[in-house]
Amino acid sequence: MCASDWKRAARRAISAPSQWSAKPAAKEALPIITFDHDVTVHLNGEDIRALHFPSGHTDGDSIIFFPKSNVVHMGDDFVRYGFPFIDLASGGSVDGMIAAMQEVVPKLPPDVKVIPGHGQVSNLDDVRESREDAGRNARSGPEGRQAG
């Protein structure tokens, strides 16, 4: 499929999200641990914290902190391929993604290793740059141009 075909398919998917459907998962596929805001589990000598960030890439985003290892996994709230895909049909929003990055950045040490949802392992400066780019892009849309 060529790039223009992908663009047409994406436009159709965005304009008609009801054409996509999924069957419920089998009970065995459902998570054993669920949480509303955050949860910490102890695994391999490390306390691993998952923090839910609503309305970023989707409404079910979590960012996972591995403090002993000095690693954070940002999931699809931070990607290295350019502007991230925001799944509006699944509750995602640009503002939610920016808010997640704004909340996470001050909590991270300067030398943290950042695992993006897609792309190469990164660092805190890459997350800051992505946050700034997302903010600039959000402000450059029709509403942002009107607001200044």
Could you read off the pLDDT of 34-81 as tens digits, one per residue?
Answer: 888 999 999 999 999 999 988 888 888 899 999 999 999 998 888 898
116 Cβ partners below 8 Å, 6+ apart? 74, 78, 79, 80, 122
Of the pLDDT bands very low, low, confident and very high (cuts 50, 70, 90), residue 141 is low
Q: Among 12, 122, 110, which Cα is nearest to 1's?
A: 12
Q: Is the pLDDT of residue 9 over 70?
A: no
Q: Among 102, 109, 91, 86, which Cα is nearest to 135's?
A: 102
CATH topology of domain 33-147: Metallo-beta-lactamase; Chain A (3.60.15)
Of the ranges 32-46, 77-91, 131-145, which one carries the lowest mean pLDDT score?
A: 131-145
pTM, full prediction: 0.73
